[in-house]
């Protein structure tokens, strides 16, 4: 598929003709409520399927998948208008395939436990991981109460691995340098947190943890890497993933409280995977 930027005088019909794309499918996949009113600068996804299926009376999504030797997940991915659901109707056009894949990659998304279920179902078919934001802890290493069993259960229904996001967010909703420092310098609290983390992950059905400690004092960089390594040592025998979220640095010695304790080499070696928080970047 391609992405077309609407130019003055463009119409959806003309765009469809230009790319030899199915007009009705363009309307469906772009969720255009007023398809014949386009705005210059607007982007339109132009689907260019290799194989499509027209729904017949009495057919189901799982039955269509079986007919074409594919999966319901693949149909969801190729047809965002389905919203991750199974509601179809006679005459509807579904994309079965788009042709050869360019490669594979992992996709992570963040969500609060109270996310709108419609939004979540629509997004899950495209995710590898769902990071549930967020779980804090107190000075004794106890996990602050949070219940994400419903969201983790739904994620697994779509084949997505739910991750518990462990943060140093305080009651005020801000990342706490003091909380990070206290934990990293207190071996008793640190050990308690790791054990409580393992228990919470098991109880609520998570597939691992995404550790997101921000604004750590620079002198605690090594201790932070050691903590991540210790979490991995505890969780790895259970087949659980340990991911760490990293501030977007442009150099190893980049100054600033957000960056200095995020040692890319040490944290990359300590965790299974890392996630660069490039949404912190500002393009000038």
Average pLDDT over residues 260-268: 97
CA distances from 90 to 34, 93, 151 (A): 22, 9, 32
pLDDT over threshold 90, residue 99: no
- pLDDT score at 104: 87
Positive or negative, the CA dihedral 257, 108, 1, 91 is negative
Cα separation, 201 vs 198, whole angstroms: 5
Q: Do domains 51-99 and 108-280 have the same CATH topology?
A: no
Cα separation, 256 vs 278, whole angstroms: 16
Cα separation, 132 vs 107, whole angstroms: 14
Write the DSSP symbol of residue 142.
P
- pLDDT score at 171: 75
pLDDT over threshold 80, residue 1: no
pLDDT over threshold 90, residue 254: yes
Class of CATH domain 51-99: alpha beta
Superfamily of domain 108-280: Glycosidases (3.20.20.80)
C-alpha R_g of the chain: 23
Both structure tokens of 115: 């996310």
Both structure tokens of 166: 């462990």
**Domain 1-48 grouped into CATH 3.20.20.70:** no
- pLDDT score at 280: 63
Both structure tokens of 117: 């279920």
Q: What is the pLDDT of residues 55-81, one digit of tens each?
A: 999 999 999 999 999 999 999 999 999
Domain map (residue ranges) of the chain: 1-48, 51-99, 108-280
DSSP string, 174-235: SB-HHHHHHHHT-HHHHHHHHHHHHHHHHHHT-SEEEEE--S--GGGHHHHHHHHHHHHHHH
- pLDDT score at 248: 92
Adjacent-strand bridge partners of 51: 97
Q: What is the pLDDT of residues 145-181, one digit of tens each?
A: 888 999 999 999 999 999 999 999 877 878 999 999 9
**Mutual angle of helices 221-235 and 177-184, in 10-degree steps:** 70
* Geometric angle at alpha carbon 69, from 65 and 73, rounded to 5°: 45
Cα separation, 228 vs 184, whole angstroms: 10
- pLDDT score at 107: 95
- pLDDT score at 101: 78
Three-class DSSP category at 271: coil
Cα separation, 231 vs 209, whole angstroms: 9
Q: What is the pTM of this model?
A: 0.89
Average pLDDT over the chain, rounded to an integer: 94
Write the DSSP symbol of residue 82.
G
Positive or negative, the CA dihedral 110, 114, 119, 125 is positive
Cα separation, 197 vs 194, whole angstroms: 5
């Amino acid at each position: 598929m391609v992405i077309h930027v609407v130019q003055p005088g463009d119409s959806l019909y003309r765009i469809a003709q230009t790319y030899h794309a199915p007009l009705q499918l363009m309307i469906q996949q772009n969720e255009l409520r007023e398809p014949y009113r386009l705005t210059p600068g607007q982007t339109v996804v132009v689907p260019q399927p290799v194989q499509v299926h027209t729904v017949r009376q009495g057919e189901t999504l799982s039955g269509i998948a079986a007919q074409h030797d594919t999966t319901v997940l693949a149909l969801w991915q190729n047809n965002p208008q389905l919203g991750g659901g199974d509601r179809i109707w006679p005459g509807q056009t579904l994309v079965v395939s788009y042709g050869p894949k360019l490669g594979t990659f992992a996709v992570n998304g963040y969500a609060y436990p109270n996310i709108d279920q419609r939004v979540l179902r629509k997004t899950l078919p495209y995710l590898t991981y769902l990071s549930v934001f967020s779980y804090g802890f107190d000075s004794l290493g106890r996990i602050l109460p949070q219940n994400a069993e419903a969201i983790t259960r739904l994620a697994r229904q779509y084949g997505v691995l739910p991750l518990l996001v462990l943060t140093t967010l305080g009651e005020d909703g801000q990342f706490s340098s003091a909380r990070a420092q206290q934990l990293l310098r207190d071996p008793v609290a640190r050990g308690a947190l790791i054990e409580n983390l393992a228990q919470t992950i098991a109880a609520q059905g998570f597939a691992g943890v995404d550790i997101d400690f921000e604004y750590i004092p620079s002198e605690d960089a090594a201790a932070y890497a050691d903590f991540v390594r210790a979490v991995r040592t505890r969780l790895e025998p259970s087949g659980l993933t340990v991911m760490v979220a990293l501030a977007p640095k442009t150099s190893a010695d980049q100054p600033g409280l957000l960056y200095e304790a995020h040692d890319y080499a040490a944290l990359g070696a300590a965790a299974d995977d890392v996630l660069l928080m490039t949404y912190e970047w500002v393009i000038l």
